[in-house]
Amino acid sequence: MNNTQKLFKLATQAAQKAYCPYSKFAVGAAILADDGNFYVGCNVENISYPVGTCAEAGAIAAMIAGGGKIISEIVIFADAKTLVSPCGACRQRIVEFSDENTLVHMANIEGIKKTVKANQLLPFGFEEF
Ligand code: THU
């Protein structure tokens, strides 16, 4: 099993743990970081809807807490037939911890459906103040 296949598996497992009683849309994210470690997250909703967090945010928080600094690859898996594409806020989150080689794989129950470089996700994103 190569790294991307392992990330896909980890993301599907994370999605099984998602807390999504409101949307019923389970998402898992798995990161291979520059430190060689794998990190996962899932969406965690809240009865106060805007308080909920995306799977990508959880995986990035795990990466940072675990000592990773840059995302080498991330798989975002939706337990659905539709393709899940990271929301705008998560694009900003991903780009913050990416370099020019970072790959973003979008996956559903049929497998990885689309792969882009992280820097393709957020043209003209917020960079400096
Ligand atoms: N969601 C994610 O976790 N990641 C995405 O990239 C898109 C959306 C979650 C947020 C919410 O819990 C559910 O999917 C429905 O929007």
Q: Which pLDDT belongs to residue 67?
A: 98
Q: Which positions of the chain have pLDDT values less than 70?
A: none
Is 96 a known active-site residue? no
The pLDDT value recorded for residue 59 is 98
CA atoms of 27 and 19, how far apart (whole Å): 9
pLDDT confidence of residue 84: 87
Nearest ligand 1 atom to alpha carbon 85: 6
Beta carbons within 8 Å of 87's beta carbon, 6+ residues apart: 54
**Hey, whose CA ends up nearest to atom 9 of ligand 1?**
54
State the pLDDT at residue 52.
98
Q: Identify the pLDDT of residue 96.
A: 96
Structural domains of the chain ordered from first start: 3-121 (3.40.140.10)
What was the pLDDT predicted at 124? 87
Residues touching ligand 1 (Cβ under 6 Å) are 20, 23, 25, 27, 43, 45, 52, 54-56, 76, 84, 86-87, 90
Joined tokens for residue 84: 């899940």
Burial of 51-70, coded b for 16+ CB within 10 Å and e otherwise, reads ebbbbbbbbbebbeeeebee
